[in-house]
Amino acid sequence: MRYLRTFVFLLLLSPVHAAEWEESPKVAKLFNNASVNGTFVLYDITARRLIGHDRTRAEKRFIPASTFKIPNTLIGLSVGAVKSVDEVLPYGGNPQPFKAWERDMGLREAIAMSNVAIYQELARRIGLERMRENVLRLGYGNAEIGTSVDTFWLLGPLRISAVEQTQFLAKLAQEALPYPRALQEKVREIIVVEKSAHWTLYGKTGWENAPGAGVGWWVGWVQKDRRLYAFALNIDVQNASDASKRVELGKSSLEALGVL
């Protein structure tokens, strides 16, 4: 029965259940002007429509890097590895790539500054078997976590495509994941990026192999009036200066498509 449920969730999150792909010349122009190799996907949840740039890359799986902090938070809360998003976790006392990471903090603060050490501690508290069971339950990407509980989303084997990111986030935005609604609401609460009179922007960045060359992500969704739009961008980051293009290009794409 457990395997049947896993299959059902994988099927529900599969991109084949979204609408057909529509290529956007406006978004393609933005990528070309920025001299960036990457993809952008917008999933109009109400219309069940996918629109974006470079379908082939959009369907290719990459290491999720810090975008996995979203499901990691949900899993951690669901298994009781933390009592709340504000429970303080230790960073471990070791030198970190960024000085700001070298202190204890809760998940609310850690996800905002993408503190890897804090989320590695959370993953260790969850444990390998509970993590594997819940990644399968979510149908997240290839759902493979290997044998290292605190590196699988940074080094692999976990991989996910941009299209699959939008399917996962669409479920979270609608409180439709197989977890209590209150827990999904807590996760949504800590990834709010920006608000206006008509829309709320949720998002999380990721950067494989930071601060070196790798794949950079920006994923999330926009709630605009009564409509929901999930999105995912990934680009090739050649140097540190490319990292800022993730959010810049993502926002420009959302604006070009009339979402922001």
Q: Of residues 14, 66, 244, 253, which has the active-site annotation?
A: 66
Whether 66 is a known active-site residue: answer: yes
Query: What sign results for the dihedral spanned by CA atoms 98, 100, 105, 106?
Result: negative
Residues belonging to the active site: 66
